[in-house]
Amino acid sequence: MRKNIVAGNWKMNKTLQEGLELAKDVNSRVSGIAPKCQIVLGTPFIHITEVVKTVDSAKISVAAQNCADKASGAYTGETSAAMIQSTGAKYVILGHSERRAYYGETAEILKEKTDLALENGLLPIFCIGEVLSERESNSHFDVVKKQISESLFHLSAEVFGKIVLAYEPVWAIGTGKTASSDQAQEMHAFIRSLLVEKYGKEVADNTSILYGGSCNAGNAKELFANADVDGGLIGGASLKAEDFLAIITAF
């Protein structure tokens, strides 16, 4: 049975001290409610261990924002999936458009990262989405299909069931633009149709597909009301507990 998920992606923001204060604030605000979604905090690497200790694991899980495409070895500055798992983190964000664009992450690299994450007991939040030129040329469906198939479709149905997908129209990240509710639903339904074709209806129905692209308190309720939108991967609006809570309670 698929979950509703609201995942915050802090990106490269917050010192350790600031991050802990934010985690404490989010934890405090959700302590008195019964959220209708799984809450995930995607923190910088240096925050993970302390944030895991700070939050109520029954309501809030912690994610890394990336992992290495190697298991271990002489890869200075990298952080392996096994290292992340040892902190108590449950999820890892993979394939974010910023990683693809700024750090040259290819489909093959993301395939390796996904495999290592799964082998080490982490649940990937796998990002897919098109840039503005691809949307305007009407190739956005082909782009998303290729991103999913090249990095994920080698997985068995059983293993794929551990994947969370996050559709992020790249043209709507940090720009203040948002895909319309209809555009979001159209793409999410298309993604689910790909999963039906590859793995069957049961796997498709049980896969959570999040929307990421300037989702905020003002539009979350409308976005989440769509049949195939199972929550959000939240950037800037996750950096203030009050704003993040408003999205959580949109369900």
Enzyme catalytic residues: 96, 168
Give the count of alpha carbons within 13 A of 204, CB side only.
Answer: 16
Q: What is the dihedral of CA 148, 153, 84, 123, to 10 degrees?
A: 90
What is the C-alpha separation between 85 and 88, in angstroms, rounded?
A: 6
Query: β-strand 209-211 against 91-94: which pairing, if any?
Result: unpaired
What is the C-alpha separation between 48 and 91, in angstroms, rounded?
A: 11
How far is C-alpha 165 from the chain's CA centre? 7
What is the C-alpha separation between 233 and 127, in angstroms, rounded?
A: 9
The candidate with the shortest Cα–Cα distance to 9, out of 247, 249, 250, 207, is 247
Two tokens at 202? Answer: 């049961």
Query: β-strand 91-94 against 123-128: which pairing, if any?
Result: parallel
Beta strands in the chain (DSSP E): 5-9, 38-43, 60-64, 91-94, 123-128, 164-167, 209-211, 231-234
How far is C-alpha 62 from the chain's CA centre? 11
170: amino acid identity, one letter: V
Residues facing 7 on adjacent strands:
40, 233
